[in-house]
Amino acid sequence: MPSLRSIRGRIKSVKNTRQITKAMEMVASAKMRKAQARVRDTRPYAEKIKELMIRLAAIESHRPNPFFQVRPVATVGIILVSTDRGLCGPINSNVFKMVNRFMADRPGVKFEFVVIGKKGQDFVRRSGLKAVGSISGVKDRGQIEEILPATQVAIEEFSDGRWDEAWIFYTEFVSTLSQKPRSEQLLPILPEMSENGAKKPSPFLGEYLYEPDTADILDVLIPRYFETLVFQRVMENFASEYSARMMAMRNATSNAKEVIYQMTLIYNKLRQAAITREISEIASGADAVQQG
Amino acid sequence: MAFMLSLLTQERVLVTEEVDFVKAKGVDGEFGVLTGHTPFITLLDPGELVVRKGETLYSYYVSGGVAEVLPKSMIVLANTVERAEEIDMQLAQTARKNAEEALSKPISELERRTYLLELKRENVRLSIAARRHSTRHPGQLSEE
């Protein structure tokens, strides 16, 4: 039988926990609203530049460009987007599971990682995988410059021929209640690229006029495409993180409420039993005195 | 006849709607776009981008980027964009003065080029802002 005092102590500690989870819920929900707006603002550019690149990849004369060329795959580079902090539901572990499955499906291929976020760094270290670059502490309202160190490493690995494909794994923001792990191939850029289906681009298979010329435009567009997509996916990840954290903390808060309710019930029952016992002891004592 | 214009930066959406005419500054000079334009792709120079929709003209300062023109659509992927009414004239004037002062001193070739570019940029921004503030009706713009 637990003592009254120990139950009182436990109720108090659960109440403290509830206060913390409640506060975290509110912080996450404020950040979530901003991050969701940011996802809405950054999606169109990323979508349009991806569609444009896919259109360009379909043009025969661009084929010699190494960023449009399919090579035999010996090494796959993976940009892994994760959160810096925990307590955000299953979103990190879902992405890691997807990475593991992806690797299991490609036996005989080497994998190298560029990691964004502390949780991903832990995962790569724990699993004994090879990271060629990693950044953490990216700000949710940050500028694109913050992720450039990661994208530059990745582009270099690809253009120097050490990576034959570049993929990004992240958590897509679907809604406050739903976030999906995603894998997306970024390089080489292929006309039929649709892994986890971006919309099919409007078909345009003719040639363009270029100012100044094709090479200059591709030199500008390709890094821009790569940076933008990584940046946008990082923003998706933030919106997912805050949404998942808000939901996780909301659940924790309501669980704490439930626990407090149950324990208060037990506490009151015990208290009542103790009082009843005391009264009956006093009463029987008084009886004994009167009869004697 | 209208066509679909998307004017975007990595961080925000400025225009996604049907418009009638766009004038922009490519690296090889200004160009105008109407529906049915030949497909082309160009890098953009810092300059003004004018959009006409019906009788109304909208003006933007674009710091550079890429434009893709198709017969029924145009996508401008800009580095940064300011709406004409967002341009802070005082800030631009200060920046211009700073650049002019820096240019009057003996400086390295690289610095000189940077400041010249800066000066050019501020001049464009100021002229866009000034046009907006003047009484002249912007509708006099011709469709070359």
Across chain B, what does the average pLDDT equal? 84
Q: Measured between alpha carbons, how far is A43 from A167 in angstroms, rounded to an integer?
A: 18
At residue A2 the predicted structure's pLDDT band, cuts being 50, 70 and 90, is confident
- The pLDDT of residue A175: 93
Residue range of the domain that includes A218: 44-242
Which residues 14-33 of B are in CB contact (within 8 Å) with A? 16, 26-28
| DSSP structure string for A19-50 | HHHHHHHHHHHHHHHHHHHHHHHHHHHHHHHH
> Does A198 have pLDDT greater than 70?
no
**Is residue A220 in some structural domain?**
yes
Query: Could you tell me how many CB contacts below 8 A there are between chain A and chain B?
Result: 66
**Is residue A137 in some structural domain?**
yes
Q: Which of A63-67, A230-234, A272-276, B31-35 has the lowest mean pLDDT?
A: A63-67
CB contact under 8 A, A211 and B10: no
- The pLDDT of residue A292: 66
CB contact under 8 A, B13 and A44: yes
Indicate the DSSP class of residue A205: -
Residues 6 or more apart whose Cβ sits within 8 Å of residue A66: A159, A188
Taking only the tens place, the pLDDT of each residue in B105-141 is 888 888 888 888 888 888 888 888 777 654 444 444 4
Taking only the tens place, the pLDDT of each residue in A89-113 is 899 999 999 999 999 999 999 999 9
Burial class (CB in 10 A: 0-12, 13-18, 19+), B44: buried
Taking only the tens place, the pLDDT of each residue in A170-192 is 999 999 999 999 999 999 998 87
| DSSP structure string for A107-166 | TT-EEEEEEESHHHHHHHHHTT-EEEEEE----TT--GGGGHHHHHHHHHHHHTTS-SEE
**Is residue A28 in some structural domain?**
no
- Token representation of residue B107: 């400086």
Across chain A, what does the average pLDDT equal? 90
- Which of A59, A140, A209, A231 to mutate to probe the B interface, most B CBs <10 Å? A209
**Contact status of B93 with chain A (Cβ, < 8 Å):** no
Whose CA is closest to A85, among A137, A39, A142, A29? A137
**Is residue A162 in some structural domain?**
yes
**Contact status of B95 with chain A (Cβ, < 8 Å):** no
Closest-CA distance, A87 to chain B, in angstroms, reads 28
- The pLDDT of residue B138: 45
Q: Which of A86-90, A226-230, B137-141 has the highest mean pLDDT?
A: A226-230
> Does A151 have pLDDT greater than 50?
yes
Beta bridge partners of B51: B22, B58
Closest chain B residue to the Cα of A226, Cα to Cα: B10
**Is residue A259 in some structural domain?**
no
Secondary structure (H, E, C), A263-277 = HHHHHHHHHHHHHHH
Q: Measured between alpha carbons, how far is A241 from A91 in angstroms, rounded to an integer?
A: 7
CB contact under 8 A, A211 and B39: no
Give how many domains chain A has, as a whole number. Answer: 1
- The pLDDT of residue A204: 61
CATH of the domain at A126: 3.40.1380.10
CB contact under 8 A, A212 and B66: no
**Contact status of A215 with chain B (Cβ, < 8 Å):** no
Domains (range + CATH), chain B: 3-84 (2.60.15.10), 86-133 (1.20.5)
**Residues of chain B contacting residue A48, judged by C-beta atoms under 8 Å apart:** 6, 8, 75, 77
**Is residue A232 in some structural domain?**
yes
> Does B70 have pLDDT greater than 70?
yes
Kindly give the pairing relationship between strand A178-187 and strand B56-62.
unpaired
Q: Measured between alpha carbons, how far is A107 from A128 in angstroms, rounded to an integer?
A: 17
**Is residue A196 in some structural domain?**
yes
Q: Which of A123-132, A267-276, B24-33, B124-133 has the lowest mean pLDDT?
A: B124-133
**Is residue A253 in some structural domain?**
no
Q: Measured between alpha carbons, how far is B127 from B120 in angstroms, rounded to an integer?
A: 11
Tell me the three state secondary structure of residue A233.
helix
